[in-house]
Amino acid sequence: MRLASILAGLWLCCVYSVWPRPSCRNVVLLISSKMSDTGASPAKMRKLEHPEEAHEGREYDPETQKALEEIDMCQNEIDQLNEKASEEILKVEQKYNKLRKPSFEHRSKIIQRIPNFWVTAFVNHPQISAILEEEEEECLHYLTKLDVEEFDDIKSGYRIKFYFDENPYFENDVLTKEFHLGSTGDPASKSTEVKWKDGHNLLERFRQRVQQGEKGGTGRKRNLELRSFFSWFTDHGDPSADEIAEVIKDDMWPNPLQYFLVPDIEVENGEGDDDEEELEDEEVDDSVVVVEEEIEEVDDEGVEEEEEVHGEEDGEADE
């Protein structure tokens, strides 16, 4: 049971953290609260569980042994501080989640004034666009709002909500995918059942193409992959490794504007000037060649004149 709790904590740190992907030390920080009931730090737990391994095959001189014991005491102090820090970090994050909420809501209202904002941001995002079918891209033109809600206890989970205008694909106004701890304490997820309209079940169409083994068929912008947006939305096989959900929560949601403006940002950064620079380089190279040719012509004329002079001198000498 203790191992299951630790594994669950590790998964939650990676999936639910609002910071960039945590380092090993941050993982220890965030799961330490699950281990606090034992009263032992991770280092002590390993030492207590396998005391015979600590000395098996190893002998140290008294000075080294004393230094190792002092290091272990220092490490225990560090672990205790890390446990305390993890509790403080969670409190601060909960506080600022509440403070950020009005700003997120205000931003959502402004975004609704921009046509096709979210579908543009999705298409410009390298990881999200990689799973978008062309028909799904058309469907996402009806997406008017995206919302990410973290539970009060950050480690418990979060949900992603997609709001749609009336569209020809499905009846739902809101589609939600939620990540949480299941009854066994293991990571779990669930999503809204999509009520597809007759003849517009995009998930079924995708599955049929997979079964038929089509590759690069008509109307497709990329080779067939075994994932699509709606296959991701309905997939609950391995919630602990849902990279698309992590991307939406930790990258797209905090700042979607950077992806909506991707083409404009590239122009501002001067990435579109490469061709002009290449053309200028080519023009410079051509002028250099011309100059060299002119120099060669001048040299040839000089040689001919010298030969004529020498010829006349030789003639005079013979006379």
Angstrom CA distances, 86 to 26, 94, 166, 316, stand at 8, 12, 44, 106
Which position has the token pair 């225990």? 76
* CA-based torsion, 87, 91, 96, 97: positive or negative: positive
pLDDT of residue 116: 96
**Percentage helix, strand, coil for the chain under 3-state DSSP, each rounded to 5:** 65, 10, 25
245: confidence class by pLDDT, cuts 50, 70, 90: very high
Q: Report the alpha-carbon distance of residue 163 to residue 111 in Å, rounded.
A: 13
pLDDT of residue 112: 95
Q: Report the alpha-carbon distance of residue 187 to residue 9 in Å, rounded.
A: 9
Q: Which range is most confident: 14-28, 103-117, 270-284? A: 103-117
* Mean pLDDT of the residues in the chain: 75
Which position has the token pair 């061709």? 275
Among the listed residues 151, 147, 146, 148, the one whose alpha carbon sits nearest the alpha carbon of residue 181? 151
Percentage of the chain beyond pLDDT 90 is 49
pLDDT of 165 strictly over 90:
yes
Angstrom CA distances, 73 to 43, 78, 82, 127, 158, stand at 10, 9, 14, 45, 38
Q: Each residue of 188-237: pLDDT tens digit?
A: 999 999 999 999 999 999 998 888 875 555 444 444 446 899 999 999 99
pLDDT of 144 strictly over 60:
yes
* CA-based torsion, 35, 39, 45, 48: positive or negative: negative
Q: Which range is most confident: 5-9, 31-35, 188-192, 220-224? A: 188-192
Question: Who contacts 144 (Cβ-Cβ below 8 Å, separation ≥6)?
Answer: 112, 118, 163, 164, 165
Angstrom CA distances, 28 to 81, 180, 191, 264, 311, stand at 12, 20, 30, 41, 95
pLDDT of residue 173: 97
The count of C-alpha atoms lying within 13 angstroms of the C-alpha of 132, restricted to the half-sphere facing its C-beta, is 19
Q: Each residue of 122-142: pLDDT tens digit?
A: 999 999 999 999 999 999 999
pLDDT of 300 strictly over 70:
no
